[in-house]
Amino acid sequence: MPRAAGRAELVESRIGECGCPEEHYLFDGIDLIIHFEPNGDVDAFWDTGDDCADWTTHEGQSRFNGRLAAFAWAASLTGGAER
Ligand SMILES: [Zn+2]
């Protein structure tokens, strides 16, 4: 797996409230939820407790690519860039 800037640990794989698969990671110690829509969109939610952000990519033709894009996004947040 290409390395993102941060470190991701899978906490849980589950089915979200709308029926889509979801993965909960700790990304550099911060909660990161990656949500896989049936149309290939990938939503990511990042929550430090004090601050939260969400983001969507349409590049999730494969779950693998969507996951990498979400990690890259989270890395840009934890790196303090473009908030
Ligand atoms: Zn959904």
Reported as a single tens digit per residue, the pLDDT across 74-83 is: 999 876 544 4
The pLDDT assigned to 60 comes to 59
Query: Ligand 1 centre and the CA of 22: distance in Å?
Result: 8
Predicted pLDDT at 1: 47
Residue 1 C-alpha to ligand 1 middle, in angstroms? 25
What per-residue confidence (pLDDT) applies to 82? 45
* Rounded-to-integer distance, Cα 30 and Cα 32, Å: 6
d(CA 74, CA 68): 10
Distance 49 CA to ligand 1 centre (A): 22
Ligand 1 center to 65 CA (angstroms): 17
Contacts of 81 (CB under 8 A, 6+ apart): none
